[in-house]
Every structure is written in C-alpha cells, then in structure tokens.
Amino acid sequence: MFVPGTEMTSEEFREFGHAVVDWIADYRAGVADLPVRGEIRPGRLWEQLPDRLPEEGESPAALLADLDRVIVPALAHWQHPAFFGYFPANSSLASVLGDLLSSGLGVQGISWTTAPASTELEQYLLDRLAEELGLPAEFTFPGGGGGVIQDSASSAVLVTLLAALHRDSLGAWRSSGLTGGEVVYGSTETHSSLAKAVRVAGLGHDGLRLVPVDPVTLAMRPDELAEAVAEDVAAGRRPVLVCATVGTTGTGAIDPLTEIAAICREHGIWLHVDGAWAGVAALCPELRALFPGVAEADSFCTNAHKWLMTAFDCSLYWTRHPGVLVDALSILPEYLRNAAGESRAVVEYRDWQIPLGRRFRALKLWAVLRWFGLRGLREHLRRHVALAAELADLVRSDDRFTLVTEPSFALVCLRAHTGNGAAADDRRTERLLASVNKTGQAFLSHTAVDGRPVIRVAIGGVTTESRHVLELWRLLREEFDRA
Amino acid sequence: MFVPGTEMTSEEFREFGHAVVDWIADYRAGVADLPVRGEIRPGRLWEQLPDRLPEEGESPAALLADLDRVIVPALAHWQHPAFFGYFPANSSLASVLGDLLSSGLGVQGISWTTAPASTELEQYLLDRLAEELGLPAEFTFPGGGGGVIQDSASSAVLVTLLAALHRDSLGAWRSSGLTGGEVVYGSTETHSSLAKAVRVAGLGHDGLRLVPVDPVTLAMRPDELAEAVAEDVAAGRRPVLVCATVGTTGTGAIDPLTEIAAICREHGIWLHVDGAWAGVAALCPELRALFPGVAEADSFCTNAHKWLMTAFDCSLYWTRHPGVLVDALSILPEYLRNAAGESRAVVEYRDWQIPLGRRFRALKLWAVLRWFGLRGLREHLRRHVALAAELADLVRSDDRFTLVTEPSFALVCLRAHTGNGAAADDRRTERLLASVNKTGQAFLSHTAVDGRPVIRVAIGGVTTESRHVLELWRLLREEFDRA
C-alpha cells in the first residue's frame, strides 16, 4: 500500500529504500555474469518506453521492473570485473552509501553558511589527502593553499586556466577580457579537456601549443616546450599555462615535471599537473616516486572517481594560489551576501568552480576513506599495478602480441603482431579489439600511437582480480586466431 | 561482522544499506523538529575530526554516528518544511532512490556507447517534458532540437554563450577565439551566473550590458534593451546573446519575452531564457500563461533540482540549435572515437556540456516523474503558489509590513514598515530577518531592491504545508515587535 503523488512517508521510504538497496546488491552480485557490453542498437531503449509520462504516480516497484527490462540490457557495465576500457570509474559500494547520505540530507552548498559541514568536511578531507599523497604543505589550507572537489578534471583545468589568465593579466582579464596573445601548452598526448578549456576560455585553437613527445615514452619533451615558449615570447605572445600530465589517457605517459617546472618558473607560467587517473597512486610512496616534481606545480588534480573507488563525480583539485582562483571566479550578488562570507573566516567554494550549486560530495569520499582505510586503498592500487605487470609479462612472452609501451601504473598497451608488417598488424589489432568486445566477456578500448591503433587494458576495477586478467589474456589469444 | 579494506560484499551492502536508508528515514521524519539552521561557528566541525585519516577501515556504523554527532548539527536543513531561504532545493525521497540507483549502476556516459540507456533515457525524458511544459516541437529531438541535463543553470548559460559566440563568428571563434567586440545582455536583476559565464568565456565585464528594469515589476525594459543593442551595433560591437529571465532570483520578476524576442530576431541575437527556478511552473497551463514567448527563444533552462523535487544536480536545458552547440563544444580525441558516435545515429552528450564525464542523472528525474506523476507535480506547484498568495494577503493586511512586489509564483518579498521612514524600515527589516533566523524555527534569506533590504519568502519545500507558512507569519509578527 502506498500513496504516490505526494512525498513518500518515512515508512514508504524505508520499504522502497530497502528494495532499491537489495536491487543494487543483486545487480552487483550478478554483474560478472552479464555481458560487459551487449549488442545495443541505437534507439532501441526509446522504443520500449511509453509515449507519455504517467499522469498518475506509480510504485517504485514498476521503476525497478523497468530497470531490469530496459535499462540494464542497454548499458556497458562499468562495475563489471572484466571492464578494462577507458579508465576505471569505480563506484565502490561504500561510496554508493556515502552518496546516498548526501542525497538524503539534500543540502545545498552555495555558501559556507548554507551547509557549513559540507564546506568544512571537504576542506578537512582535501587537507588530509594532500598529506597522504605527499603534496607540499603549500597545497593545504594551513599552508596558504587549499583543495576542493570539482566535478571533473575537465572543469579543474578550466578553472586553472581562468586563474592563470587572471594572474597573468594583473586583473585586467576580469574587466576587459582576453587580449589575444595568450598561449597555453600541453603535449600531443594531453587530454582533450585542455583543448576544450582553451576553447571555452575564448583563446581559440590558435592559443594552444601541443608540444611533441618523446617517441618512446610519449612524454612531453621539455626542450620542445622551452623552444615553443621562447618563440611565443619572442613573437610578443603571453605564455599563461602549461598542463603537464601524470598518466596520459592514451598510454599512461608521465611528463617530466621537474624539467617542465623549471621552464615555467623561468617565465612565470602557471604549471598545472593533471593526474586525473594516476595521481591517486601517490598514496603509495613507491608509486609516488614515479612522478617527482609535483611539489613544484601551481595546481594538481586527480580523480577519486576513477581509480580511488568513489562514485562519479569527485575530482580532487589543489592549488597553492586559492586567492588568485577565487579572485578570478568570484561574483557576489546581494542575495548571496552573508556575514560569515564577508568575515573571510570561511571558504566560499562557489568561487572555486564554474557552477554555483554544490552537492555535499565530501560524504562519498569520506565513506570510502573510512570503509577502506588508507591501508585498504593502497592495497587496491598496488594489486592493480601488480596485475598490469603480470599481464605485460604475458604479452612479452607471446610473439603474437607487442607491448606498445612499458606498462604505466595499471595500464597495459598492446597491439597484435602478425609478422606481416605494420598494416596487417593494424588490421588484426582492430579486428581483435572488436571481437574481444563482441564476446561480452571483457571490454577494452583503444588509442592511437603514431597513427596506429593500440589496444588499452586499463586494470583497476574494484572487484577485478588476477583471474579476470588471466581470463582476458586467454580471450585475447583465442580471438587473435579468429580475428 | 564485516571486513573493511576490501569491497563490501552484497550481504554487507544489504545490511549497511538498510541502515543508511533507515538513518535517512529517521532524519527526514525528524527534520521538522531540528532548528532549520542552528548557530554554527566557523571551524567547529573541523576541530571535532581526527588529525589523520584512518589507516584501517571502519564500519559504516561509525560514519553514521559521526553524522549525528558532527555533521547534522553543522547544517542548514534544506529539506526542513520551514526552510524558506534562497529557492527550494527539493530532494524528494523518490529522487533520492533514483539517484541511489545511479550510483549503484555506476556507469559513465562519456559516450552514447559507454552507457546507451543513460543517453537515451535522458533524451526521452527531455522530449516528454518539453511537451508537458508546452515548449515548441523545435526544442525536441524529432523537431530538430533537443534537451540535456546540465549540472546547473550556470553551466547552461555558459554553454549557451559559447554556442552563440560560435554561431556569431561563423566558426572563427573555434580557431582564433574572441575578437574583442562581443556583447552580452541581461538585466540588472539577471542572475550572477550570466556575469560569471561572460567572464569565463573571456569577454570581461566590459562585454556585459545590464539593462535597466521597470521600477515596479523589476522586469527588463525592452526599450532599454533595444537602445543598448543599437548603440553597440553603431559602435561596431557584436551583440551575441540576450539572457532573459522567468522568475528572477531577487524577486521573481518575469522579463517580457515576446518583446525581447522581437529585438533578438531583428539583430540575429541568440535569446536564452533562464527559468532556473520558475520555469518548471510551465507544467501548469495557468502558470505557463504568465510567461508567453518562451517558444521564440533559442534556448531555455529550468532546474528540476529546485522546485521540481529532484535531488541536485539536474538542470534541464533545451535548444533549437543542438548542431551549433555540439559544433561549438566538440573535440574528438582518438580514445573516444567509436562507430556509433561516428555514424551520427546517436547523441554524444559530452559535446553539450563542459565536463567530459556524465553521471546517469536521468534516473533520479525518472523516479520523480513516476512516483509523483504529472498530476502530483502540478498539485505540488499549485499548492505552493496558493500558499504564497495566502501569505501575501496576510502581509497586505498588516501595516507593520509592506509587500515589496506582487508575489511571483511561490515567492513573497516583503519588508518591515515602522512608519518612521525608509532608514528605520531598513534597519527593522534587517533585524527582523536576523531574529527570525536566530529562532531556528524558520529560515529566510534576503535581497536588495533599489539598494534597500528585502526579505524573501521562497515557498516550495516538498513537505511545506499551510501550517508552516502560518507559523512563519506568526513568527514574523512576533519578531517584528522584538526586532
């Protein structure tokens, strides 16, 4: 018995809430038995839905039935242990519960004053995580910096660019906008979010330099960066931002931060380090050692919603110049003025981001940190790095495959090797990718290196174990022969 | 018994999930008995948390205990029936369950192919809602337009501005960026997100014209807009975008869309209508009639996460020019290429927004639409509009108060009236606001009109009933005498 059409009673919420929790428990328990991604025809879902929205309310039981009937069959299952595509988007069950608490509280953090706990828990967690990641004290609030949760690394690099433009213009950017000579630097392997940020900020593609990479490591070449900067300076343009990457999306390349930082220092350029996927590995000292120089960055970003078990969206961003960032983004209309905000005793996170509204996202991160503990998180990261090394050894041992780059963290990049030349290898690689995915027993995605197709195996699912990687290896070899 | 440090088992998730659901049920059942916002000292929360993150995992029971101990006392309770501040941020319990399903599925919609159901359900719901809101067919996918869920109205106006810049430049903006003469128009009452978008896009404050408003309605004056546009055109500048508002944040003013649209048409300017708060009222034909002319807009935005019961974030955005928007924002790196996307048979929502990643937000909206049904949603909106009219009558009947504007939808704006002149009224208004909020029995926020303080009563909480409004009225009169 229930009364739809008006707000659920507590009793109804208990009943339906337990049913939804049980549905998720069943989904997660059974997801490994589903095809990671079945054949899905565009438009099929739409055809299965009614022509009109319901006039009268319905029981949530009908919603759950439709999830089974039309939604689940039309998804790639990112929480499947054999999902190796793109990068992991771990939505651990602890984070699911933390996020549920956030919706349940339903508070809105447009100001410190409208949800103090939301702002302060976020500050607290970002400070604590900065320490555990080995970031410099200048990235924490007591050290004059600070961290914030952004929705994504794309937004993080955008706000960074805006802060850098503001700083570079000595404030003129706020009033008169761009002057036309601003230049931003990444490498040819930098994530497309940099190009998007440059476009959004109004520089146009002409304001972006994609510096060449080392042909073996695929990391940015500092000599090429220095040359590009020198050229731009000589031509009267203004270098504003360099975005270096720890763990590129294509192959997991690590840009040489120390050398890049020296160039940035020399020219007063803001250095942003994008560690969207791999940055969280800094929780483990031996992995942190793989990317020295982060301490010299002006800002750093890594996504808890990729490899750190936290449901999307939860991108962790720190800067040593929060004053510049806030100055770049703040606008204070009357209806948001309040005593606490004006006292400057509190942080107003709305001025650290593009949107005004803010969900209480710190709760899902807190739930993850407390359920797993730091030890659990380190073990999770190390386990996947070890599995990648294991897979890389298998690839090396089989002459039907080539390792395109050395494995980076938990990413393995490979292609087929036919012995019949590059063109044949490329065709076989493409067919192999398609046929593995078609089995539904694993899901892989690709990139290109030197214009040639490469299969990426991104290990890192929260339930991915050795047997899933070994099963993938069996599948790769089996499908190689068929492809 | 539980094993933290590794992913929760299904059994653990069931047990802890039920406990979290019960915690939320208890919180919602008891929220009306909490102070809407207690006295909260900056930094207090932080002091109550340990110096280090836990090394070993903990049971979620410890998390729930800390919620009670440190989090709940440090919040304003937006789901409290006597929360009348800002605008409502209804997180109805149905939407909480829909959002829980989204976290539980944990899929990532970076492409249609990575979560087809996420993209298609969103398209379906936005098309159906466009019909129910009376939007023109040109805003739906079959009509050549389309809708999308943005995180916020701030992001919606930003992507709109980018699309308008792209269109205005005939594509040159993508490559060479801004030229320096672009101009954007709002009114002096337009939400600050427009100024933020103008800044983010690199125009600087000089590129924004805030057109004067009518002194009584506080709506944008079309004659002033026409004059500003003519001046800019004469000076060789390029009018790109007009942002008109249905229900301004200050007082709920409604800009005259039909007259504004005519000016935009004449000059080829993109007209965006921001109905962040009030736009959802279009579900009711008699409320829709209050803002004719939406059909002539190029784009329209309204937030389901304000008055339409859906947990943040869920901002609904439609445009009749999705091709322009996608062209403005799309960037296609190799690792995101896929057959479905290249076939153009599917929608790639990443190109409709700033971030790359996408949560399955349509589920929480679907849960709301199905639980309440259209009838339930209309009743919810009408009930609050009626309560606002009731409160406005009470204010009119008492000479200690002045109605600053006629009530707009469910927003009532008032100030104290002392009989001792404007300065005394203003002081009393400010003290009244502070003392009502201090009681913890209701929460109000303010705005300024003509530089004078105004108390805003935004009715619209999902559990707000007549008795809560009457109780607020009692409180206002009681505190007037004390203030």
Tens-digit pLDDT profile for residues A243-259: 999 999 999 999 999 99
- Report CB contact under 8 Å: A151, B357: yes
Do B146 and B264 share a domain, yes or no?
yes
pLDDT tens sequence across B334-366:
877 888 777 778 999 999 999 999 999 999 999
Interacting residues of B267 by C-beta distance below 8 A, sequence separation 6+ = B229, B233, B239
3-state SS, one letter per residue, for chain A: CCCCCCCCCHHHHHHHHHHHHHHHHHHHHHHHHCCCECCCCCCHHHHCCCCCCCCCCCCHHHHHHHHHHHHHHHCECCCCCCECCCCCCCCCHHHHHHHHHHHHHCCCCCCHHHCHHHHHHHHHHHHHHHHHCCCCHHHCCCCCCEEEEECCHHHHHHHHHHHHHHHHCCCHHHHHCCCCCEEEEEECCCCHHHHHHHHHCCCCHHHEEEECECCCCCCECHHHHHHHHHHHHHCCCEEEEEEEEECCCCCCCECCHHHHHHHHHHHCCEEEEECCCCHHHHHCHHHHCCCCCHHHCCEEEEECCCCCCCCCCCEEEEECCHHHHHHHHCCCCHHHCCHHHHHCCCCCHHHHCCCCCCCCCHHHHHHHHHHHHHHHHHHHHHHHHHHHHHHHHHHHCCCCEEECCCCECCEEEEEECCCCCHHHHHHHHHHHHHHHHHHCCCECEEEEECCEEEEEEECCCCCCCHHHHHHHHHHHHHHHHHC
Q: Among candidates B47, B251, B203, which has minimal Cα distance to A117?
A: B47
In a domain, B48, yes or no: no
| Across A328-332, A472-476, B292-296, B457-461, least confident range | A328-332
pLDDT tens sequence across A349-404:
999 999 999 999 999 999 999 999 999 999 999 999 999 999 999 999 999 999 99
ipTM of the complex: 0.97
Residue B74 with chain A: CB contacts under 8 Å: 116-117, 120
In a domain, B303, yes or no: yes
pLDDT for B203:
98
pLDDT for B473:
98
In a domain, A240, yes or no: yes
pLDDT for B483:
73
Do B129 and B244 share a domain, yes or no?
yes
> Do B315 and B305 touch, CB atoms closer than 8 A?
yes
* Partner residue opposite B120 with nearest CB, options A16, A46, A250: A46
> Do B246 and B257 touch, CB atoms closer than 8 A?
yes
A11 pLDDT more than 80: yes
- Report CB contact under 8 Å: B199, A329: yes
- Counting one residue from chain A and one from chain B, the pairs whose CB atoms sit within 8 A come to 525
- Report CB contact under 8 Å: A116, B70: no
Do A58 and A132 share a domain, yes or no?
no
CA distance A285 to chain B (A): 15
Q: What's the CATH code of the domain at A428?
A: 3.90.1150.10
Do A420 and A321 share a domain, yes or no?
no
B322 pLDDT more than 80: yes
Query: pLDDT tier at B321 (50, 70, 90 boundaries)?
Result: very high
pLDDT for A340:
79
- Mean pLDDT (chain B) is 96
pLDDT for A83:
98
Mean pLDDT of A414-420: 96
Q: Is pLDDT larger for residue A335 or for residue A158?
A: A158
Do B205 and B331 share a domain, yes or no?
yes
pLDDT for B345:
82
Residue A277 with chain B: CB contacts under 8 Å: none
Terminal-to-terminal C-alpha distance of chain B? 55
In a domain, B62, yes or no: no
pLDDT for A3:
67
A90, closest residue in chain B (CA to CA): B106
Last residue of a domain, one of B335, B359, B383: B359
Backbone dihedral angles phi then psi of residue A415, each to the nearest 5 degrees:
-140, 165
Do B113 and B196 share a domain, yes or no?
yes
pLDDT tens sequence across A64-79:
999 999 999 999 999 9
Do A58 and A183 share a domain, yes or no?
no
A332 pLDDT more than 90: no
CA distance A402 to chain B (A): 19
* Partner residue opposite A14 with nearest CB, options B16, B22, B114: B22
Mean pLDDT of B17-36: 98
B380 pLDDT more than 60: yes
In a domain, A475, yes or no: yes
In a domain, B64, yes or no: no
Last residue of a domain, one of B324, B359, B394: B359
pLDDT tens sequence across B113-151:
999 999 999 999 999 999 999 999 999 999 999 999 999
* Percent of the residues in chain A that have a pLDDT greater than 70, as a whole number: 99
CA distance B128 to chain A (A): 7
Using DSSP's 3-state secondary structure scheme, residue B210 falls into: strand
- Report CB contact under 8 Å: B205, A174: yes
A1 pLDDT more than 60: no
Tokens 């409320």 — which residue? Answer: B287
B1 pLDDT more than 60: no
Do A473 and A448 share a domain, yes or no?
yes
> Do A307 and A277 touch, CB atoms closer than 8 A?
yes
- CA–CA separation, A85 and A103 (whole Å): 29
In a domain, A82, yes or no: no
B233 pLDDT more than 70: yes
pLDDT for B337:
82
- Mean pLDDT (chain A) is 96
Residue B345 with chain A: CB contacts under 8 Å: 42-43
Mean pLDDT of B94-109: 98
B63, closest residue in chain A (CA to CA): A367
Do B129 and B239 share a domain, yes or no?
yes
Do B382 and B340 share a domain, yes or no?
no
| Across A202-206, A332-336, B279-283, least confident range | A332-336
Backbone dihedral angles phi then psi of residue B315, each to the nearest 5 degrees:
-100, 125
CA distance B476 to chain A (A): 20
- Report CB contact under 8 Å: B94, A24: no
- Report CB contact under 8 Å: B329, A199: yes
Last residue of a domain, one of A72, A91, A124: A72
Q: Among candidates A321, A317, A323, which has minimal Cα distance to A304?
A: A317
pLDDT for A342:
73
Q: What's the CATH code of the domain at A323?
A: 3.40.640.10
- Report CB contact under 8 Å: B374, A54: yes
In a domain, A80, yes or no: no
pLDDT tens sequence across A427-468:
999 999 999 999 999 999 999 999 999 999 999 999 999 999
Mean pLDDT of A284-305: 97
pLDDT for A82:
98
* Partner residue opposite A312 with nearest CB, options B108, B128, B372: B108
- CA–CA separation, B301 and B150 (whole Å): 9
Residue A175 with chain B: CB contacts under 8 Å: 204-206
Do A231 and A156 share a domain, yes or no?
yes
Do A119 and A59 share a domain, yes or no?
no
* Partner residue opposite B8 with nearest CB, options A67, A94, A332: A94
Report the number of distinct structural domains present in chain A. Answer: 3
Q: What's the CATH code of the domain at A45?
A: 1.20.1340.10
Residue B458 with chain A: CB contacts under 8 Å: none
Mean pLDDT of A178-192: 97
> Do B130 and B378 touch, CB atoms closer than 8 A?
no
- Report CB contact under 8 Å: A354, B196: yes
* Partner residue opposite A370 with nearest CB, options B40, B42, B63: B63
Mean pLDDT of B186-204: 98
- CA–CA separation, B119 and B149 (whole Å): 10
> Do A144 and A138 touch, CB atoms closer than 8 A?
yes
**DSSP H helical segments within B146-269, as ranges?**
153-168, 172-176, 192-200, 222-234, 257-267
Domain that holds residue A15: 1-33+39-72
* Percent of the residues in chain A that have a pLDDT greater than 90, as a whole number: 94
- Side-chain half-sphere of B336: how many Cα atoms within 13 Å? 20
- Report CB contact under 8 Å: A305, B54: no
